[in-house]
């Protein structure tokens, strides 16, 4: 029987891809987990009234609004969930924390280190008043990833020596794909680096417990001009005979791909690749950790599994084994289905909301904190600076040091 007494009234800012994913999680979390507080989907916010009104009904929100400031300042809202492009993360989050609202902010935390530092400072001030803040790196909540971290932390892999991480997509391979906000630096901050590279930076630091201390990087923008809108892109595709030259285009101001090598503070070497030009790869995230006693591999396209190798057994029995991560003893899974009944991408967000609600209700500090998210931002910044300087070795400052400064 549920022991829920407290209601957390949620205001969601943003209704597109991430807004829909977060909405599904808020709808589901209290139906799956017995938590010390119940989330109420109070209001969803977006600038386009017709679209946000449609989203409110379709996604299950009580009402909608078109001004996030109005939502942040409402006395009947307890939580602000920020699912907007990165250029507005800092403004919305800092205002929400100042208004005493708990904040969940999508990754990456901000578009710049300076904005991220300001958000960390705002979260620290709010924390003193019992207000909690968390950054939404949802892949941490995939049960196989959490189990991967437990295997490393327990010493099953021994001394960690190599980290290999890649996140590969292909959704902008077509040069006629339009110039959406994710391809504009003033809106997105960076391209593949911040959009998907942030995930593998966070995942590897989370799984290994090691911090990236330095990088050497290259980035590339393969398609430098794109149609200004989906409509103009369609016209360009249908016109033919060279008339596409007349279609208005604009510059792509972010990276299409980023590749870098890294050192971690526990002595491991890392290789990282983030690209949206891996033709045929839709959402392929893979992390491999090699240690002195074994190795472990996670592949998002097989997110209910781990590959695990232990070098301590007889040589006649050695080899990578498949762990099916569906047992009730595995992280997060006791509340779901019988063993062998797999879960999917959307469950990672439900687990995220579960942890966030528990932290708010119990007064705990949620993870990843804004300080942890700042550490990712510092890595992204070092990668960008290294690439700009021609792959020069670039140190990554510890987040705590930047806060103290």
Tens digit of each residue's pLDDT (9 = 90 or more) over 49-82: 999 999 999 999 999 999 999 999 999 999 999 9
Across 19-27, average pLDDT? 98
- Give dist(CA 114, CA 118) in Å, integer: 6
Task: Please give the angle made by the CA atoms of 330, 334 and 340, to the nearest 5 degrees.
Answer: 70
On the question of pLDDT at 198 being above 80, the answer is yes
Q: Residue 232 has what pLDDT?
A: 36
Q: Residue 247 has what pLDDT?
A: 84
Query: Which range (222-231, 259-268, 369-378) has the least confidence?
Result: 222-231
Q: How far is CA 299 from CA 140, 148, 287, in A?
A: 13, 11, 7
On the question of pLDDT at 3 being above 70, the answer is no
On the question of pLDDT at 233 being above 50, the answer is no
- Give dist(CA 31, CA 376) in Å, integer: 33
On the question of pLDDT at 2 being above 50, the answer is no
Q: Which residues contact 135 (CB under 8 A, 6 or more apart)?
A: 104, 105, 106, 107, 109, 368, 369, 370, 372, 373
Nearest C-alpha neighbor of 333 from the set 167, 85, 145: 145
Q: Identify the band that residue 235 occupies on the pLDDT scale cut at 50, 70 and 90.
A: very low
Q: Which residues contact 230 (CB under 8 A, 6 or more apart)?
A: 178
CB atoms within 10 A of CB 218: 15
337: which DSSP letter?
P
Secondary structure E strands in 21-138: 37-45, 63-65, 79-82, 102-106, 133-136
Q: Residue 67 has what pLDDT?
A: 98
CATH topology of domain 6-139: Rossmann fold (3.40.50)
Across 145-158, average pLDDT? 98
Mean pLDDT for the chain overall: 94
Q: Residue 70 has what pLDDT?
A: 98
Across 18-36, average pLDDT? 98
Across 153-166, average pLDDT? 98
Across 158-173, average pLDDT? 98
Q: Residue 400 has what pLDDT?
A: 80
Nearest C-alpha neighbor of 402 from the set 114, 136, 209: 114
Tens digit of each residue's pLDDT (9 = 90 or more) over 95-114: 999 999 999 999 999 999 99
Q: Residue 245 has what pLDDT?
A: 56
Q: Which CATH architecture has domain 142-372+374-388?
A: 2-Layer Sandwich (3.30)
Q: Domain map of the chain by residue range?
A: 6-139, 142-372+374-388
On the question of pLDDT at 301 being above 60, the answer is yes
CB atoms within 10 A of CB 73: 14
Give the length of the chain.
405
- Give dist(CA 63, CA 71) in Å, integer: 11
Q: Residue 402 has what pLDDT?
A: 56
On the question of pLDDT at 26 being above 90, the answer is yes
Q: What percent of the chain has pLDDT over 90?
A: 92
Q: Identify the band that residue 405 occupies on the pLDDT scale cut at 50, 70 and 90.
A: very low
Q: Residue 313 has what pLDDT?
A: 84
On the question of pLDDT at 268 being above 70, the answer is yes
Q: Which helix (H) or strand (E) holds 363?
A: none
Tens digit of each residue's pLDDT (9 = 90 or more) over 306-339: 999 999 989 999 999 999 999 999 999 999 999 9
169: which DSSP letter?
-
């Amino acid at each position: 029987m549920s022991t829920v007494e407290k209601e957390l009234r949620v205001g969601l800012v943003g209704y597109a891809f991430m807004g829909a994913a977060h909405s599904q999680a808020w709808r589901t979390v209290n139906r799956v987990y017995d938590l010390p507080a119940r989330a109420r989907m109070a209001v969803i916010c977006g600038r386009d009234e017709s679209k946000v009104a449609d989203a409110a009904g379709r996604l299950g929100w009580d009402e909608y609004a078109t001004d996030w400031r109005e939502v942040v300042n409402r006395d009947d809202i307890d939580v602000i969930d920020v699912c907007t492009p990165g250029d507005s993360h800092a403004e919305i989050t800092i205002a929400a924390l100042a208004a005493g609202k708990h904040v969940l902010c999508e990754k990456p935390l901000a578009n710049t280190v300076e904005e991220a530092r300001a958000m960390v400072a705002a979260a620290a001030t709010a924390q003193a008043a019992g207000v909690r803040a968390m950054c939404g790196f949802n892949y941490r909540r995939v049960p196989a990833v959490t189990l991967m971290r437990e295997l490393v932390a327990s010493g099953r892999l021994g001394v960690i020596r190599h980290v290999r991480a890649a996140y590969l997509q292909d959704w902008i391979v077509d040069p006629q794909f339009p110039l959406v906000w994710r391809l504009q630096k003033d809106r997105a901050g960076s391209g593949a680096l911040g959009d998907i590279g942030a995930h593998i930076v966070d995942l590897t630091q989370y799984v290994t417990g090691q911090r990236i201390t330095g990088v050497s990087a290259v980035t590339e923008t393969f398609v430098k001009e794109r149609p200004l809108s989906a409509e103009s892109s369609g016209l360009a595709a249908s016109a033919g005979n060279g008339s596409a030259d007349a279609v208005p285009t604009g510059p792509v101001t972010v990276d299409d791909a980023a590749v870098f090598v890294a050192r971690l503070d526990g002595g491991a070497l890392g290789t990282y690749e983030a690209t949206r030009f891996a033709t045929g790869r839709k959402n392929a995230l893979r992390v491999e950790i090699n240690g002195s006693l074994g190795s472990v591999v996670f592949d998002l396209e097989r997110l209910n599994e781990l590959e695990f190798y232990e070098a301590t057994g007889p040589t006649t029995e050695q080899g990578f084994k498949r762990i099916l991560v569906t047992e009730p003893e595995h992280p997060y899974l006791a509340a779901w289905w019988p063993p062998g009944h797999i879960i999917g991408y959307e469950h990672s967000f439900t687990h995220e909301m579960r942890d966030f609600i528990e932290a708010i209700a119990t007064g705990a500090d949620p993870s990843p904190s804004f300080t942890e998210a700042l550490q990712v931002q510092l890595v992204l910044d070092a990668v960008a600076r290294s690439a700009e300087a021609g792959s020069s070795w670039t140190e990554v400052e510890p987040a705590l040091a930047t806060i103290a400064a």
